[in-house]
Structure 1
Amino acid sequence: MTEEALFDVLRQGLWASVLISSPLLAVALVAGVVVGLFQALTSIQEATLTFVPKAGLMIAVFWVSMSFMTATLVSFFTDRVIPMIAGG
Protein backbone atom coordinates (compact mmCIF):
# COMPACT_ATOMS: atom_id res chain seq x y z
CA MET A 1 0.00 0.00 0.00
CA THR A 2 1.38 3.37 -0.97
CA GLU A 3 1.24 6.57 1.01
CA GLU A 4 -1.15 8.08 -1.52
CA ALA A 5 -3.60 5.21 -1.10
CA LEU A 6 -3.41 5.45 2.68
CA PHE A 7 -3.99 9.20 2.67
CA ASP A 8 -6.86 8.79 0.22
CA VAL A 9 -8.59 6.25 2.48
CA LEU A 10 -8.00 8.48 5.52
CA ARG A 11 -9.45 11.47 3.67
CA GLN A 12 -12.51 9.49 2.63
CA GLY A 13 -12.90 8.14 6.17
CA LEU A 14 -12.84 11.66 7.58
CA TRP A 15 -15.39 12.77 4.99
CA ALA A 16 -17.63 9.81 5.92
CA SER A 17 -17.40 10.82 9.58
CA VAL A 18 -18.37 14.39 8.68
CA LEU A 19 -21.38 13.12 6.74
CA ILE A 20 -22.42 10.81 9.56
CA SER A 21 -22.12 13.42 12.30
CA SER A 22 -23.58 16.40 10.43
CA PRO A 23 -27.29 15.77 11.18
CA LEU A 24 -26.66 15.49 14.92
CA LEU A 25 -24.35 18.49 15.03
CA ALA A 26 -26.76 20.63 13.01
CA VAL A 27 -29.67 19.81 15.32
CA ALA A 28 -27.55 20.47 18.41
CA LEU A 29 -26.50 23.84 16.98
CA VAL A 30 -30.03 24.91 16.07
CA ALA A 31 -31.49 23.72 19.37
CA GLY A 32 -28.75 25.47 21.33
CA VAL A 33 -29.31 28.76 19.52
CA VAL A 34 -33.10 28.58 19.91
CA VAL A 35 -32.94 27.69 23.61
CA GLY A 36 -30.23 30.30 24.21
CA LEU A 37 -32.35 32.95 22.50
CA PHE A 38 -35.36 31.89 24.57
CA GLN A 39 -33.31 32.11 27.76
CA ALA A 40 -31.99 35.54 26.82
CA LEU A 41 -35.46 36.84 26.02
CA THR A 42 -37.08 35.50 29.19
CA SER A 43 -34.10 35.86 31.57
CA ILE A 44 -34.51 32.23 32.66
CA GLN A 45 -31.11 30.77 33.52
CA GLU A 46 -31.92 27.13 34.16
CA ALA A 47 -29.24 24.60 33.19
CA THR A 48 -31.66 21.78 32.46
CA LEU A 49 -33.55 24.00 30.03
CA THR A 50 -30.61 23.82 27.63
CA PHE A 51 -29.86 20.14 28.12
CA VAL A 52 -33.25 18.43 27.95
CA PRO A 53 -34.53 19.82 24.61
CA LYS A 54 -31.14 19.40 22.97
CA ALA A 55 -30.79 15.80 24.16
CA GLY A 56 -34.35 14.96 23.13
CA LEU A 57 -33.94 16.42 19.66
CA MET A 58 -30.60 14.72 19.16
CA ILE A 59 -32.07 11.35 20.14
CA ALA A 60 -34.97 11.89 17.72
CA VAL A 61 -32.67 12.89 14.86
CA PHE A 62 -30.35 9.98 15.61
CA TRP A 63 -33.30 7.61 15.46
CA VAL A 64 -34.49 9.08 12.14
CA SER A 65 -31.05 9.24 10.48
CA MET A 66 -29.75 5.90 11.76
CA SER A 67 -30.33 4.18 8.40
CA PHE A 68 -28.43 6.95 6.56
CA MET A 69 -25.53 6.69 8.99
CA THR A 70 -25.39 2.91 8.69
CA ALA A 71 -25.60 2.99 4.89
CA THR A 72 -22.80 5.57 4.69
CA LEU A 73 -20.51 3.60 6.97
CA VAL A 74 -21.23 0.26 5.26
CA SER A 75 -20.66 1.84 1.85
CA PHE A 76 -17.31 3.24 2.95
CA PHE A 77 -16.15 -0.12 4.27
CA THR A 78 -17.38 -2.20 1.34
CA ASP A 79 -16.11 0.22 -1.32
CA ARG A 80 -12.76 1.26 0.19
CA VAL A 81 -11.57 -0.64 3.25
CA ILE A 82 -12.42 -4.25 2.42
CA PRO A 83 -10.92 -4.10 -1.11
CA MET A 84 -7.78 -2.55 0.37
CA ILE A 85 -7.53 -5.36 2.94
CA ALA A 86 -8.11 -7.94 0.22
CA GLY A 87 -5.27 -6.39 -1.78
CA GLY A 88 -7.33 -4.94 -4.59
Structure 2
Amino acid sequence: MDENLIFDLTRQALWIALRMAAPLLGVALVVGVIIGLLQALTSVQEMTLTFVPKVGLMLAVFWVSMSFMTAMLTGFFTDQVLPGIAGS
Protein backbone atom coordinates (compact mmCIF):
# COMPACT_ATOMS: atom_id res chain seq x y z
CA MET A 1 0.00 0.00 0.00
CA ASP A 2 1.48 3.29 -1.00
CA GLU A 3 0.84 6.67 0.55
CA ASN A 4 -1.74 7.80 -2.01
CA LEU A 5 -3.85 4.70 -1.46
CA ILE A 6 -3.85 5.25 2.30
CA PHE A 7 -4.93 8.87 1.89
CA ASP A 8 -7.65 7.87 -0.57
CA LEU A 9 -8.98 5.17 1.77
CA THR A 10 -8.95 7.63 4.67
CA ARG A 11 -10.86 10.20 2.63
CA GLN A 12 -13.43 7.62 1.60
CA ALA A 13 -13.75 6.33 5.17
CA LEU A 14 -14.40 9.85 6.47
CA TRP A 15 -17.01 10.43 3.75
CA ILE A 16 -18.77 7.17 4.65
CA ALA A 17 -18.68 8.06 8.35
CA LEU A 18 -20.29 11.41 7.52
CA ARG A 19 -22.98 9.74 5.41
CA MET A 20 -23.69 7.24 8.18
CA ALA A 21 -23.92 9.88 10.89
CA ALA A 22 -26.04 12.33 8.88
CA PRO A 23 -29.47 10.77 9.58
CA LEU A 24 -28.80 10.57 13.32
CA LEU A 25 -27.40 14.08 13.54
CA GLY A 26 -30.20 15.47 11.39
CA VAL A 27 -32.85 13.97 13.65
CA ALA A 28 -31.06 15.28 16.75
CA LEU A 29 -30.88 18.76 15.22
CA VAL A 30 -34.52 18.89 14.13
CA VAL A 31 -35.87 17.49 17.40
CA GLY A 32 -33.63 19.80 19.42
CA VAL A 33 -34.85 22.87 17.54
CA ILE A 34 -38.51 21.86 17.85
CA ILE A 35 -38.25 21.11 21.57
CA GLY A 36 -36.28 24.32 22.09
CA LEU A 37 -38.99 26.34 20.37
CA LEU A 38 -41.68 24.64 22.45
CA GLN A 39 -39.71 25.37 25.63
CA ALA A 40 -39.28 28.99 24.64
CA LEU A 41 -42.99 29.35 23.86
CA THR A 42 -44.16 27.71 27.08
CA SER A 43 -41.33 28.90 29.39
CA VAL A 44 -40.77 25.32 30.57
CA GLN A 45 -37.06 24.78 31.18
CA GLU A 46 -36.79 21.08 31.93
CA MET A 47 -33.58 19.29 30.87
CA THR A 48 -35.15 15.86 30.50
CA LEU A 49 -37.74 17.30 28.13
CA THR A 50 -35.06 17.71 25.46
CA PHE A 51 -33.04 14.60 26.25
CA VAL A 52 -35.69 11.86 26.25
CA PRO A 53 -37.41 12.62 22.90
CA LYS A 54 -34.08 13.25 21.20
CA VAL A 55 -32.59 9.95 22.35
CA GLY A 56 -35.79 8.05 21.58
CA LEU A 57 -36.02 9.36 18.03
CA MET A 58 -32.31 8.84 17.43
CA LEU A 59 -32.67 5.20 18.51
CA ALA A 60 -35.64 4.79 16.16
CA VAL A 61 -33.73 6.31 13.23
CA PHE A 62 -30.71 4.16 14.05
CA TRP A 63 -32.88 1.04 14.09
CA VAL A 64 -34.45 1.94 10.74
CA SER A 65 -31.14 2.82 9.08
CA MET A 66 -29.06 -0.09 10.39
CA SER A 67 -29.36 -2.06 7.13
CA PHE A 68 -28.28 1.01 5.14
CA MET A 69 -25.26 1.53 7.40
CA THR A 70 -24.29 -2.13 7.34
CA ALA A 71 -24.52 -2.31 3.55
CA MET A 72 -22.41 0.83 3.22
CA LEU A 73 -19.70 -0.46 5.56
CA THR A 74 -19.51 -3.94 4.09
CA GLY A 75 -19.40 -2.50 0.58
CA PHE A 76 -16.56 -0.18 1.53
CA PHE A 77 -14.53 -2.94 3.13
CA THR A 78 -15.08 -5.54 0.40
CA ASP A 79 -14.60 -3.10 -2.50
CA GLN A 80 -11.90 -0.77 -1.15
CA VAL A 81 -10.12 -1.89 2.00
CA LEU A 82 -9.62 -5.62 1.42
CA PRO A 83 -8.29 -5.24 -2.15
CA GLY A 84 -5.96 -2.51 -0.89
CA ILE A 85 -4.62 -4.79 1.84
CA ALA A 86 -4.26 -7.71 -0.56
CA GLY A 87 -2.36 -5.47 -2.96
CA SER A 88 -4.54 -5.93 -6.02
Same-fold call, TM cutoff 0.5: yes
**How large is the RMSD of aligned CA atoms in angstroms?**
0.6
Q: Which sections of structure 1, spanning at least 5 residues, go unmatched?
A: none
The alignment-based identity, stated in percent, is: 66
Q: CA deviation at 1:87?
A: 1.0
Alignment match, 1:56:
56
Q: Which sections of structure 2, spanning at least 5 residues, go unmatched?
A: none
Counterpart CA distance in 2 for 1:82 and 1:20 is 20
Alignment match, 1:84:
84
Alignment match, 2:24:
24
Q: CA deviation at 1:3?
A: 1.3
Aligned residues: 88
Runs of 4+ aligned structure 1 residues displaced above 6 Å come to: none
Q: CA deviation at 1:23?
A: 0.5
Counterpart CA distance in 2 for 1:60 and 1:54 is 10
